[in-house]
Amino acid sequence: MCQLLGMNCNTPTDIVFSFEGFHRRGGLTDHHADGWGIAFFEGCGCRLFIDDRSSVDSPLARLVRDYPLKSTNIIAHIRKATQGEVKLANAHPFMRELWGRYWIFAHNGDLKDYQPAPGQYYRPVGCTDSERAFCAILEALRQRWDAPPSEAELFDALAALAADIAAHGVFNFMLSNGAFLAAHCSTNLHYILRQSPFNKAHLVDDDVTVDFAQVTTPNDRVAVIATQPLTDNETWTPLSPGEFVLFKDGEPARRQGKQP
Amino acid sequence: MCQLLGMNCNTPTDIVFSFEGFHRRGGLTDHHADGWGIAFFEGCGCRLFIDDRSSVDSPLARLVRDYPLKSTNIIAHIRKATQGEVKLANAHPFMRELWGRYWIFAHNGDLKDYQPAPGQYYRPVGCTDSERAFCAILEALRQRWDAPPSEAELFDALAALAADIAAHGVFNFMLSNGAFLAAHCSTNLHYILRQSPFNKAHLVDDDVTVDFAQVTTPNDRVAVIATQPLTDNETWTPLSPGEFVLFKDGEPARRQGKQP
């Protein structure tokens, strides 16, 4: 299975520390070596880096580790292919435009017998269940609304779509349009909120510690969401199966489904 | 004005040599320092790198120079902002999906009083005339065909759309879907075809020479298209104002408009 990493903040923040541990799961501390990718929103613009090499060997991953891009919404993915061969067109995250904004999606899981009809507005380029699900979600939203609905309406629609698709199998995913980051848990997803007073954090996958008090301001608020906790000296909150959370400005703003 | 660089080949080829000279025009040998970007197709997958920094200062550009990504269709752009502020959402190339393929577009020029109606299928995210033109082109194609037409029909439709939009001002552009690279000349665009027997080439913008005979096979065929010639010891062919050429497998496959 793949691994997911997301970050949602109230002020542009770099993901260098979390990515340092996360990218090691792509071929070094875990077996997810079939490609990787990461997307950074800057305002409504988005940088998308994808690679069909393992994140440990990738010159692109080295760039991401060395170049502290600051962003309020980041989604990263390390791939262990379940459906669809190892090729660039199958690397997550995927990007599309809806209502004049870019949307980014990454998925961890496996959807069985999931073949939605070809969309009018959105069609997959690669051959993964994940991209089919992303296109189906955007298609449903676009068919229903010609312009963005309220955040509450959008959240309810996304929660219903996520539940429908999750009936086909394991559907942990993250979705962002640069304004929020939504996360759906099917089996495995954890998050942590970091805010003042900031403390030190130590990576699970590497002997690296950062003192966030040194690199933040008192008003910063950051939510980090990951398949498995990335640090071993902080308390990560697991999401429950079926839980869907919309993170905004570094904290959960809307949630639906059982809480643990 | 901006600068464009494109490459279309019959076998995956890296653009390191041409990019070496081209990227220096982004702030060093010329004044195009308001961002840059480059897209590489690999099959139907596409890597898109965009930056709102000048290409001379950009760590991303250093990566592209050091990491010889091989591709059959590449489009690069160095931006000198005319419309739309300097921000990531305004950096070329732009990417959208049409008929289950990614399409990439970059523009050099300035379109006056060009405000096409918001599309049903494609809407701009940033605020450049260029992205509006790209969305208008895809919108017209998608409105007309639900699935890809023949290459001949597509070429004729694109040529007509290019001519219509060019009535608004300067509209040099490159467009690729990974299968071909189409180039429209409004004022400035040159190309060179390289094939066996390969020779040495020397950059205009830097004292660098490459001997293509050492890095190619006899069957390789490469078309390089650029705003201004990149080498000073080869003969580049200028495109005429209004000329529209579709490059495929490293050579012009279809063309329309006056030839010089």
**CA distances for A62 relative to A95, B52, B63, B257, angstroms:** 22, 20, 10, 46
Burial degree of B218 (CB within 10 A; 0-12, 13-18, 19+): exposed
What does pTM read for this prediction? 0.95
Q: Is A46 on the interface with B (CB under 8 A)?
A: yes
Query: What is the structure's pLDDT at B69?
Result: 87
On whether any CB of chain A is under 8 Å from the CB of B68, the answer is no
d(CA B81, CA A35): 35
The pLDDT of A59-66, averaged and rounded, is: 82
| Residue of chain A with shortest Cα separation from B99 | A123
Q: Which of A164-178, A187-201, B69-83 has the highest mean pLDDT?
A: A164-178
**What are B178-201's pLDDT values in tens digits?**
999 999 999 999 999 999 888 898
Mean pLDDT of chain A: 91
Residue B260 confidence (pLDDT) above 60: no
Task: Quote the ipTM score.
Answer: 0.94
Structure tokens at A198: 């900031």
What was the pLDDT predicted at B32?
Answer: 62
The CATH number of the domain holding residue B27 is: 3.60.20.10
Indicate yes or no: CB of A44 within 8 angstroms of CB of B89.
yes
Which chain B residues have a beta carbon less than 8 Å from that of A47?
A: 49-51, 88
Yes or no: say if B61 and B54 are a contact pair by the CB < 8 Å rule.
no
Amino acid at A122: Y
pLDDT of residue A132: 98
Do A89 and B122 lie within an 8 Å CB cutoff? no
Q: How many domains does chain B have?
A: 1
| CA–CA dist A231, A18 (Å, integer) | 8
Distance of CA A106 to the CA centre of its chain: 5
The dihedral through the CA atoms of B177, B178, B184, B187 has a sign that is: positive
Q: Do B97 and A123 touch (CB under 8 A)?
A: yes
The DSSP line for A193-216 is EEESSP-EEEBSSSS-EEEHHHH-
**Tokens encoding A248:** 């905004």
- Select the residue from A97, A122, A127, A143 to test the B interface by mutation, using most B Cβ atoms within 10 A: A97
Which range has the top average pLDDT, A27-31, A92-96, B213-217? A92-96
Q: State residue B159's pLDDT score.
A: 98
Task: Check residue B205 and report its DSSP letter.
Answer: S
Does the CB of A186 have a partner CB in chain B at under 8 Å? no
Q: Do A122 and B97 touch (CB under 8 A)?
A: yes
CB neighbourhood size of B205 (10 A): 18
pLDDT (tens digit, 9 = 90+) per residue, B63-84?
888 777 899 999 999 888 777 7
Structural domain boundaries enclosing B132: 3-256
Tell me the pLDDT tens digit for each residue of A134-163.
999 999 999 999 999 999 999 999 999 999
